[in-house]
Amino acid sequence: MRPTRLTKSIAAALGSLLLVTSAGITVLGAVPQNAAAAAVKPTPAFSLFEQRVKKPSSLSLAQGTLVNRISQMTPSEANLAVLHLENALKAYLPTATKRMSQPVIQLDIKNIDTPGMTMALARSKVKRTESRIVLQDLAAMDYKLGRDGGFVPVIQYKSFKVFKPYLSKDLQVYIDLMAAESEQPAVVNRTLQVDWYEVVERAVQYEAFVQTYKNSNRNAAMQQAFEAAKRLVFNGSPNTPLFDKKTQVILLKAAIAYENTLSEAGPEQIENSRLLTGLDDFLLLVEQNGDKKTQAVMDYLEAM
C-alpha cells in the first residue's frame, strides 16, 4: 500500500471539495470592489514594487523589494504584487528561453554541468563572457536551471514561499502546487519523472484547487494544469506510456498505484472527485478488456 503521505494528501485535497461553501471561497483583491476602494492611495512599498516589476531590467530589484517590503503592503496589495511578479516572469520567459537556447550557451553549460547545478553556479563556472552575461541576468531574475530537451530557464516557485504568510489561502495553495512541479517536474524530455502515485496525487490536488477556489485569479491556470495532469493519468507520457507499446497491456506499477489510490480514497471521496470516479470506471473497463488497450478502452479515453 501507498505510504500514509498519499492518503493524507488525497484526503486533504478531496476534503476541501466537501467542505467548501460559497462563503469560504477566496476572492483576490485584483479588482477594486467600488470607487472608494479604487481611490485608496497605494502604500509606498507597493508603488515602488509596481514601478520596478514593469521592466525586465529591474525585475530582480522588484523581487528584492517584494521580499523586503511585502510586510509593509496591505493584504490586497501583497496578493496583487505576487500575481504581478509571476506575470512578469512568465512574460519574459520566452525571451529568456530564446537567449539561453543559443547553441554556444547550451554547449558551454553542457561542458560544466553537474547534477543539481543552479543557474548561479553555472554562471560562475562558464568561461565565455557572452554566456556568463546571459546566465547572470537570468540568475538575478531568480530563474532556475531546468533540463528539458536542453538547458532551459524555469520559474523558481520555491522562492515564492517566502510570501505565503502575507497571501490569501488560494495563493498559498497555488504556490505550493507550482513549487512541487517546478522542483520535480512530472515529465522531462517526454519521460515520466515521478511515480504513478504522484501522477494521480497531483491531478487530484489540481482538481481540488479548481473546485475549491472558483473565484481565484489563478483558477484558470490550475484548470490547465489539471487537464494536463489528467491526460498524464490516463495516457502516461510519450516515452512512459500507460500501456506497453508492444503488448498494449497496462503497466503493472501504474495499475497497482491506481488501485491503491482508489482503495485509500474510499467511496465517498471517489464520488466527490470526477477524476477518481473516471479512474475507477476506467480500471474496471480495462480489466474487462483483459488489461489491454482495446478499441473500447480507446473509445473511452477519446470521450473523456
φ, ψ for residue 130, nearest 5 deg: -60, -40
Query: Which of the residue ranges 240-244, 258-262, 268-272 would you say has the lowest mean pLDDT?
Result: 268-272
What 3-state DSSP class applies to 240?
A: strand
Answer whether residue 28 shows pLDDT above 60. no
Please list the residues that pair with 240 across neighbouring strands.
237
Bigger pLDDT: 117 or 32?
A: 117
Q: Each residue of 180-233: pLDDT tens digit?
A: 999 999 999 999 999 999 999 999 999 999 999 999 999 999 999 999 999 999
Q: Each residue of 117-163: pLDDT tens digit?
A: 999 999 999 999 999 999 999 999 999 999 988 999 999 999 999 99
- 146 CB-near residues (< 8 Å, 6+ apart): 152, 153, 154, 185
Please list the residues that pair with 144 across neighbouring strands.
154
From the DSSP assignment, how many helices (H) and strands (E) are in the chain?
14, 6
Q: Which residues of 87-123 are buried (b: 16+ CB within 10 A; e: fewer)?
A: ebbeebbeebbebbeeeebeebbeeeeeeeeebbbbb
Q: Each residue of 67-104: pLDDT tens digit?
A: 999 999 999 999 999 999 999 999 999 999 999 999 99
- 178 CB-near residues (< 8 Å, 6+ apart): 155, 157, 160
What distance in Å separates the CA atoms of residue 211 and residue 112, rounded to the nearest whole number? 45
Whole-model pTM? Answer: 0.86
Question: Other CB atoms closer than 10 Å to residue 200's CB: what's the count?
Answer: 27
Element (H, E) at 145: strand 143-147
Q: Pseudo-torsion of CA 251, 254, 257, 261, nearest 10°?
A: -120
Element (H, E) at 254: helix 252-271
Q: Which residues of 248-285 are buried (b: 16+ CB within 10 A; e: fewer)?
A: bebbeebbebbebbbebbeeebbebbebbebbbebbee
